[in-house]
Amino acid sequence: MLRLLLALLILATSPPARTGGQEVGTVTRLASGWDSGDRYMGIRLLGSLVLSGDERLAELSDLAWDRDEGILYAVSDRGWLLHLRPQFDYQGRLSGMVLLRGMPLLDRKGRRLKKWQRDAEGMAATGADNGIRGDTRLLISFEGRNQVDLYDPDGSFQGSVALPDALREPGLYRGRNKGLEALALHPRLGLLTGPELPVRDHSIPIIDQSGRRWRYRTFEPDGALVALETMPDGAVLVLERAFTPPFSPWVITLSRIAPDEANAGTELPARLLARFDSTEGWRVNNFEGLARHRGNRYFMVSDDGGHPLLETQLLYFEVLPERRSQ
């Protein structure tokens, strides 16, 4: 009996067993005076990390959450697809990240994409929230080629997605490297995407799978559309990034728009949710990826560009209900 009690005591006081993978997340603060749990404008900050320890964590461009598998997928400009597992504390705040595995994106012949083909920018998951394990597929947009391809989570190519003629218009893009960066899967409108930069008037077209379009007017003069994510009520969360090297600050804005069939062809009013300005104490850089986790909680990731002075940052936050004036 004494041996049994000792064994139970040892078991109860032992640390939890590791589930495999590499711990790659270090808790950080993106601004002094702002902590996890604080309300900032229209969002609540729920933790931030610096991701490091593996070269495949460089140049991350977008995220997708797989609820059925409990995996956060990340895709990079270098053509890597990573499987990550976020860790949370007892208050539900982000406290760590585990890299489970990573694999290169492959072409239709099973070979790694050539360097000029690897510029993956946007990602959305399908079959990731239906209670069925093993049927998730990933839609990935490629900026230089302005196309969307379907992938298995193991990186294998499954086919190309037919895009509307509206996305083939030569005057839609400011340049070869200013193509399809943002990508979301909407329950009614299907795929939503658009060029990174406006051609004129600070107005960027957002186009759905049938060719309908809406206009998003940037908050900043040099703002770029870098990520879209569907919200629980059918609205769309917009991530805008502004930076003009070498002297301009990083300005990251989050806003909410509500495209639908009835307002197609119009400029959408956007409600500003948060604005992070590096000249105002925010230690932010090139944020360009979004993924909804659960409810109105989201992950947001930065692309370090492979630059040694920049970080791969991951922010977890909640969009709060709009405050009504009395």
Q: What is the pLDDT of residues 309-326, one digit of tens each?
A: 899 999 999 999 988 765
Q: What is the pLDDT of residues 66-121, one digit of tens each?
A: 999 999 999 999 999 999 999 999 999 999 999 999 999 999 999 999 999 999 99
Q: How many domains does the chain have?
A: 1
Q: Could you tell me if 13 and 81 are in contact, meaning their C-beta atoms sit under 8 angstroms apart? A: no
**Residue 35, Cβ neighbours under 10 Å: how many?**
11
Phi, psi for residue 61 in degrees, rounded to 5: -120, -25
**With a threshold of 0.85, does the pTM exceed it?**
yes
Domain with 311 in it: what CATH number? Answer: 2.120.10
So what's the pLDDT on residue 177? 67
Is it the case that residue 258 has pLDDT exceeding 90? Answer: yes
Residue 8 inside a domain? The answer is no
**Residue 166, Cβ neighbours under 10 Å: how many?**
15
Is it the case that residue 205 has pLDDT exceeding 70? Answer: yes
The whole-angstrom separation of Cα 137 and Cα 139 is 7
Residue 215 inside a domain? The answer is yes
Residue 56 inside a domain? The answer is yes
Residue 12 inside a domain? The answer is no
Token code pair at residue 309: 């002075």
Residue 50 inside a domain? The answer is yes
Rounded to 5°, the CA angle 182-183-185 comes to 155
Residues 6-23 have a mean pLDDT of 50
Q: Residue 282: which domain range? A: 21-319
Residue 14 inside a domain? The answer is no
Give 246's pLDDT tier (boundaries 50, 70, 90).
low
Residue 196 inside a domain? The answer is yes
Q: What is the pLDDT of residues 78-93, one digit of tens each?
A: 999 999 999 999 999 9
Residue 7 inside a domain? The answer is no
